[in-house]
Structure 1
Amino acid sequence: MTRLYLRIYLTVVASLLVFAAAFAWVWHSRGGPYDTTMHSQVQVIANALPPARAPMADQQQTLDRLAQGLPVRLALLDASRRLIAQSRPRPGIDDQPAVPRAGEALWMLHLPDGRWLQASLPRGGHQPLHVLLLSLFTLAAIIGVLVLPVVRRITARLERLQQAVESLGAGDLRARVAVEGQDEVARLAQSFNQAANRIEALVGHHKSLLANASHELRTPLTRIRLTLELIAPSVNEERRDGLQQDIGELDALIDEILLASRLEALPHLEATEAVDLLALAAEESARHGGVDLEGAPATVKGDPRLLLRLLRNLLDNASRHGIPPVQVRLQVADGRAELVVRDHGPGVPEGECASVFEPFYRGSAARDRAGTGLGLSLARQIARHHGGELACRYEPDGAFAFVLSLPVAS
């Protein structure tokens, strides 16, 4: 990808070079002030010189008078470029032969009567057009050098603004950018900071409201559970079991909402330690029962309570929606621990695999089954807080599996 400052800089330099080239082409093809001046000089010199048939002495005298005070040597040639006369050399300055040598000619004027007037510098010189073009290209180089730091400073501020936008999009609501200068980029940075402040305030208010509402639901839920226990003897057993199941689901939902809110409020884990992922999986597999566990030990760095909650949600999901036996396989490869939880149920349709981790999403195969709809979303959130990822796939033998990948602790 081409950097913005390089594109702007190259555009400026290219524009200068194109202008210089176009100027040179117009000058060469249609003439310019220099050509007009030269034509005028030709006419003036032709009027001053004697006719071509005039005596050589008259032509020599006129040529010396024209060269008087000029830092050039003049030579008058006939139509076939044979020397007619030349200005006399000045002692100490024009000690070299008077006839111009190769590389010494500055210009040659073609007179209307066919003669040529040649002007030369003994020590060489440059054509005025070359001098002009050299000046234009030198000016382009100077402007190019001066433009680069200015363009780089502008685009550097845009790059910092881009980094802040990416950080905000990645979930860092505290991302801000320094306001530098008073131009459009500075106003854009100021607008971004104002928008980020509003977003942070709105999200913070939403999280606080959600956490407080979930916490306040604990009290009436406890009263309902206590009342149900008091009236249990007078309630039909089937109805009582249904009410207890509903209360359990509400309690689990509140617990997961509170945990999700706490994770969203923390961009990073508060405390981490070395965790034996195989031992943690064995502990949770024993609690569920009927889970086949195999694999090699793997140590990861993280919060053991959150990792245990992640494994619990995966096994709960497999037990609730899958078909036994549930199998857990742990392996280490390329510095990452891969934990696969698979069952022999119908799995998730391929079109729903990307949506199964969304909060409160219930697939078509699990729409009428128990569950809060937050388990897999919370599991992926925990995995990403540990620098890992949680995904789903179909194994080569057709079994559906959830795959947890975490970096191994060094």
Structure 2
Amino acid sequence: MKRLTDFPLHLQIFFAFSCALLIVVICTIVLWLWNDDDNRHLNAFATFSELVEQNLPPADAPQPVQAAAIDRWMARAHTRFTLFAANGERLSRPLDPPIAFPSRTVYGQLDDDWYGMRFVWPLKDKRVLVTQFSSDRQKRPWLFILLLLGLASCVALISFPVIRRLTARLESLQQSVESLGQGNLTARVAVSGRDEVGRLAASFNRSAMQIEQLIQAQKSILANASHELRSPLMRIQMAAALLAPEDSPTRRELQRSVGELDALVEEILTLSRLEMATRAINADFHPADITAIAAEECAAAQVELQAEHVVAEVDARLIRRLLRNLIENAQRYAGSGICVVLKHTEERCFLLEVLDRGPGIPCAERESIFQPFYRLAHSSSGYGLGLALVRSITEYHAGSISVHDRAGGGAHFCVCLPLAVT
């Protein structure tokens, strides 16, 4: 069962307001019904009844005479009267609806049976005069209750769009926060009003702008530093070629180290450029034969390929780099049993899957492996940039990447990319 806090904020406020309004209505109805408002008229009713008594024929007068007197009073006062003998026999003419003989005859008694408010006045000669001052007693409370409930419903309905408008600003702020958390550093929220929500929106915009500037500065410094590293590397390579013989172990070791550093710098540069690049919708993509790219990379790495013919609008150089990194990662941990699968999907996308027979990826680390410089506990090589670069290329193409366990053991990397970014 859902709790109140599980509902959207505007519904929570609306429910709370409606409940408070309902409580006020119920209390008003109870107080109105409980308050005996008619008792303040008892003296006036008694005076009127004495006046009628003084003008009635005596008790021993014929019944038609007594009935005619009651009829005259009804015509004069526009009020319903019924005169009873002491034994309950009706002396006046019958009315429709009839007025019943009261169960108790006490001087100045109000007899209220919800069908009409009746005032009971026993005469001195033991006759009983019953005066019906209102005949809509049954309708009046329900009309009042319905009127009050209708008014409360109108207030609640009018309040809903007002509450919705207030909370819509909070929802807009929430969406901007989520967008910023997903990596959209340009996310901002429209500032409207000078209340707490407006000030919160302005604070968010300032914070988002500062975060964007800091991250862009960090990426720029990293890209510039990586670019500047290439010059010393080239000088080291040239010095090694000049100082050491071509077949000496020292030269080979220097060339290997320089090659590794050059590859590392290249990955850092590519990663930085991708993170600083605009979104895929603004990228300059061209139709490329993905199957041909996969065939070339699989042939160079000597791994199995199961492919459908796929042509998509992509950056071919980056797609080649993505597939190469996935294959190299599989070779590093599995060595053999690697298979690459390329196929279409039903949603104008294509899947690029790389499966291996290595130790697999622990569930707790399946998200962390795509972070820069993250290495698994059993890893003995690599710099932790290959899979980070794969994810950046995937996101640059508006795609998604996931990793699962392969049936029978091993890891299963699945990249889903659109055939064309629209």
Cα distance in 2 between the residues matched to 1:80 and 1:174: 94
Matched, 1:16 2:16: no
For 1:216 and 1:111, how far apart are their aligned partners in 2? 113
In structure 1, runs of 5+ residues without a counterpart are 87-96
1:338 aligns with 2:351: yes
Q: In structure 1, what is the Cα distance between the partners aligned to 2:418 and 2:240?
A: 46
The alpha-carbon deviation at position 48 of structure 1 amounts to 3.8
- What's the counterpart of residue 387 of structure 1? 398
Q: Which moved more, 1:392-401 or 1:147-156?
A: 392-401
* Aligned position for 1:405: 416
Report how far residue 107 of structure 1 moved: 2.8
Give the deviation of 1:293 after TM superposition: 1.8
For residue 157 of structure 1, report the CA deviation from its aligned partner: 1.2
What's the CA shift string for 1:84-114, capped at 9, x where partnerless? 669xxxxxxxxxx975579x96532345887
Q: Is the 8 A contact 1:42 1:110 kept in 2?
A: no
> Structure 1 counterpart of 2:117, which letter?
W
1:272, 1:12 → 2: CA distance?
A: 54
Q: Answer yes or no: is 1:262 the counterpart of 2:273.
A: yes
Q: Report how far residue 178 of structure 1 moved.
A: 0.9
Q: CA 1:275–1:74 in structure 2 vs 1: closer, same or farther (change >3 Å)?
A: same
Cα 1:350–1:194 change in 2 (3 A) is closer
Residue 230 of structure 2: aligned partner:
218
User: Partner residue of 1:251?
Assistant: 262
Structure 2 counterpart of 1:89: none
Given the alignment, which residue of 67, 75, 84 partners 2:81? 75
1:117 aligns with 2:117: no
Amino acid at match of 1:39: N
Distance in 2 (CA, whole Å) between partners of 1:353 and 1:162 is: 27
Q: Which amino acid aligns with 2:414?
A: V
User: How has the CA–CA distance of structure 1 residues 146 and 172 changed in structure 2, closer, same or farther, with 3 Å as cutoff?
Assistant: same
Judged with a 3 Å threshold, the aligned counterparts in structure 2 of structure 1 residues 300 and 116 are, in CA distance, closer, same or farther, namely: farther
| 1:297 aligned residue (309, 322, 328) | 309
Aligned to 1:180: 192
Q: Which residue of 1 aligns with 2:63?
A: none
- Deviation track 1:21-78 (CA, whole Å, cap 9, x = no partner) reads 23223433xx22xx2x31121233124422998662499989978996x7x5232454
Matched, 1:363 2:376: yes
| Structure 2 contact 314–420 (Cα < 8 Å) conserved | no
Conserved in 1, the CA contact under 8 Å of 2:185 and 2:211? yes
Alignment pair present for 1:318 and 2:330: yes
Separation in structure 2 between the aligned mates of residue 191 and residue 67 of structure 1, nearest angstrom? 78
SS at match of 2:10: helix
TM-align CA RMSD: 3.5
Is the aligned partner of 1:163 residue 2:175? yes
Q: In structure 1, what is the equivalent of residue 105 of structure 2?
A: none
Cα distance between partner residues in 1 of 2:122 and 2:173: 69
For the residues of structure 2 that align with 1:345 and 1:163, how far apart are their CA atoms?
40
* Percentage of identical aligned residues: 38
Separation (CA, whole Å) in 1 of partners of 2:98 and 2:9: 52
Equivalent-residue separation in structure 1 for 2:314 and 2:249 (angstroms) = 43
**Residues 120 and 258 (structure 1), Cα distance of their counterparts in 2 relative to 1, 3 Å cut:** same
Provide the C-alpha distance between the structure 2 equivalents of 1:127 and 1:372, rounded to a whole number of angstroms: 86
CA distance 1:6–1:325, shift in 2 (3 Å): closer
The alignment of Structure 1 onto Structure 2 pairs a total of residues equal to 387
User: Gaps spanning 5+ residues in structure 2: where?
Assistant: 1-5, 59-65, 100-113
Letter paired with 1:273: H
Q: CA deviation at 1:128?
A: 4.2
TM-score, normalised to structure 1, is 0.82
1:83 and 1:213 map into 2 onto residues whose CA distance is 114
Aligned-residue offset at 1:362: 1.6
Distance 1:154 1:98 in 2: 60
SS of the equivalent of 1:174 reads coil
Return closer, same or farther for 1:81/1:361 CA change in 2, 3 Å cut-off: farther
Moved more, 270-279 or 200-209: 270-279
Does the CA-based 8 Å contact 1:50-1:62 persist in structure 2? no
Q: Deviations over 1:103-136 (max 9, x none)?
A: x965323458875320246xx6875433432332
Deviation at 1:154, TM superposition (A): 0.5
SS in structure 1 opposite 2:336?
Answer: coil
Aligned to 2:43: 43
Which whole-Å deviations, capped at 9, do the CAs of 1:271-326 have from their partners, x for residues lacking one?
A: 123332211111222333x2222221123332111111101111222233331353
Partner letter of residue 40 of structure 2? S
Q: Secondary structure at the match of 2:369?
A: coil
